[in-house]
Structure 1
Amino acid sequence: MATLEDGLEFPPELCWLPQSLVGVAGLDTLNNAVHRIVWEALANSRRQDRSPVHFKLLGPVHEFPPMKPKRNSYEWYIPKGILKRNWMKKHLKEVPAVVAIFYDLDWDDPEWPEKKIECTSRVQSIRAALEGRHTRLGVVLIQHKAPAVAGEDVLAVDRAAALCAAADINPKCLFVLPHVDHLQGYVLRLENALYEMAQGYYQQEIRHVKSHREFLNKTTHQYLFVRHQYKMAFLNELKHDNRNSHVHYSTSYSNLLELRVNDTNSLEVKTVAGYINYKVCRL
């Protein structure tokens, strides 16, 4: 366990290797053998040549951290501290960049209309549970037949379009996972696609943090100049952009040096300085 000079231990989340968080919904790994095989293919064998993704299995009714009210103005806001407690842990383990919703459905399923409604309902439930977060949603159809050549299956094209329209998802976020030979190859392609979706989510979060800059002033918001640069650095770590992460950590440290240190905040300033130094050394 890494420690600060005064003997205090760093929180575990500071030392974890940041990976894009992808939630996995709809897999019943206890009662469905196919679902269990799919989950094991996703979660196990995280080799270095695999996309840097951490998959989290979500239960049937998953509660995400509550969404805090959006702040429209910083005019009367005075931050109580530099970094918010558990912010890193929340983004590493609790708030996914992407939720992949798995559902068993072949294009020629005789119960297609009913299952399309059920699949759409699951998407809407996840969307409602996220309470307006920017988390990207993807639908993965587990199918038990070998896929046809792209574009040649008219039924598949029509029903894919209908499902995307009903669930209000981008057609690029609808995936098919055939449970046939070479499953691992299909899983790797799915994993890479979900990783790309996560990249878009973290970039959007970075832009959101950056958009607050024009509302800050260094008279009352000095802490926020440190905090926001730290956030952007950490989000860049999650999207594995170490160059920009280093830039933002360095800027955060420079802003930290401009703080007026007193008996009240000296320990926090030293702690945050230790966090940033540790991060920069690890990049």
Structure 2
Amino acid sequence: MAPTNPPHEVPLDRTVPGPIREASAPTAVRPPPSACDAHCHIFGPADRFPFSPSRTYTPPDSGIDDFERLQRRLGLERAVFVQASCHGVDNSAMLDAIRRGDGRYAGVAMIDGSFTDADLAALHDHRIRGIRFNFVAHLGGAPDLDEFWGLVHRVTPMDWHVVLHLDANDLGTYSEVLDAMPVPYVIDHMARVPAADGLDQEPFQRLLERFDTDERCWVKVSCAERLTAGKVAPFDDVVPFARALVECSPDRVLWGTDWPHPNLSVMPDEGRLLDLLAEFAPNEVTRNRILVDNPQVLYDFT
């Protein structure tokens, strides 16, 4: 099913670090049954699932066994695995992880024009419910828009959604693209707005306005560790941004750890990231909506 990366030796020099060995148990948030980490990744193991030769970074192996240990530590039951650029359009590692979940996991794939209709149908059968595009400069920049639209229109009849990994300024650059989306779309990581630029910065105000007026738009209140000015905990400067989004449209907010945090030099504690959700959404009913109800809408968990 779908293209695979050619075999290659596992790189000896890891260009990005791995996650911390063991997260803290959360203390401020007690996840309800069926709580979901709606943004995480599976990397390797590279001897079974080779990384893409065209990748811009090489992560250490962070496979399903490591992830499930983290899930138990955090008290989460469901997950959405998002294909990352280091594996390219070979979704095999993610599909293997989803299979292991027996209905508890779903996924967002990366595809290209080589995927046949049969490939897409097989992905759907394996609980893929969306496709992802990277626009971020350090990951290669925006896709070719003709190919982008071709792929979006191919998955539209499948009731999938589109996940967009954008830089903050892309919200203005690609506003017409977002306006024309024929399916729900999810903006990763609060559009990577830098907390140091304040709530009044133009990219965040664009995001808030779109989130308020476009019912197709979803946002992940994730990656405080990337948005914060200091790049380390406690991430207090990110709280007002996430809280504004939650208050705006709580029924279209998702949360995730971004485990195993590719391309970070200082790794966060996932227990602290989960506890941060209590500050993003002080109301327990709203938190439970974010952790359970909202992922159910997009990912059809059984």
Normalised to the residue count of structure 1, the TM-score between the two structures is 0.30
Q: Which of the pair is proportionally richer in helix? A: 1
Q: Which protein is bigger by CA-based radius of gyration?
A: 1
